[in-house]
Amino acid sequence: MTTLLPFLIQLMGLRDPHAERHADHVAELALKLGKVLGLKTDELELLHVAASIHDIGKMAINEFVINKPGHFTEAEYIMVQQHAQIGASLVKTLDIDPSIHSIILNHHENFDGTGYPHGEKGDEIPLGARIIRIADTYDALTSNRGYRAAYSHKKSLEIMERDAQFFDPTLLDLFFKNVARKH
């Protein structure tokens, strides 16, 4: 599976110019957090694959919506949210560990149950998805978006602290202390 990863990441990059850097950076941050947590080599390997292709479902979403240089309308946001389920279905066609499907499916679930697609909460959300939720948010905040410039490291951590209910508190604490780096 890992031999397919560079190919899949390149494909994602054809649709969205930021996708390759985002995939690599989320995978790097997720692995760092996984190592701090003491995950085993095979668990880290699964986490690396899942983090690298967590947004693969965006390939099925309208290109103009994905790359829109402004805020989404409500209808567009509903469309974008479908990427979690689409991504999970797509990877089901690959001969990979089923935990990767559920990590991709759940990577936008919030710890307090306010996320999507199913409003899972707490430990109902797979550990890998809780890790990626944090890495994904940090990378999104510290990156330029069509509608805003990148936030600084400090401001990004402030926003994540303000929204702490979305994240596993133990993981967030470990991320703040051991993973997040100054930009």
Taking CB under 5 A as the rule, does residue 109 contact Fe ion?
no
- Considering only the stretches 11-19, 91-99, 116-124, 130-138, report the one whose residues sit in contact with Fe ion under the rule CB under 5 A: 130-138
Shortest spacing between CB 55 and Fe ion, in angstroms: 4
Taking CB under 5 A as the rule, does residue 120 contact Fe ion?
no
- Considering only the stretches 30-38, 43-51, 131-139, 157-165, report the one whose residues sit in contact with Fe ion under the rule CB under 5 A: 131-139
**Is 58 one of the catalytic residues?**
yes
- Considering only the stretches 13-21, 121-129, 135-143, 148-156, report the one whose residues sit in contact with Fe ion under the rule CB under 5 A: 135-143
Cα–Cα distance, 147 to 125 (Å, whole number): 30
User: For residue 67, is it left (φ>0), alpha (ψ between -120 and 50) or beta?
Assistant: alpha
Task: Compute CA distances 150 → 52, 109, 141, 161, whole Å.
Answer: 21, 23, 6, 17
Task: Give 175's strand partners.
Answer: none
Cα–Cα distance, 65 to 58 (Å, whole number): 10
Taking CB under 5 A as the rule, does residue 136 contact Fe ion?
yes
Taking CB under 5 A as the rule, does residue 55 contact Fe ion?
yes
- Which CB atom, from 40 or from 92, has the smaller least distance to Fe ion? 92
User: For residue 43, is it left (φ>0), alpha (ψ between -120 and 50) or beta?
Assistant: alpha
Cα–Cα distance, 24 to 29 (Å, whole number): 9
Q: Which one from 35, 40, 58, 177 is the annotated catalytic residue? A: 58
Q: Which residues bind Fe ion (CB under 5 A)?
A: 55, 136
Q: Which residues are catalytic, by number?
A: 58
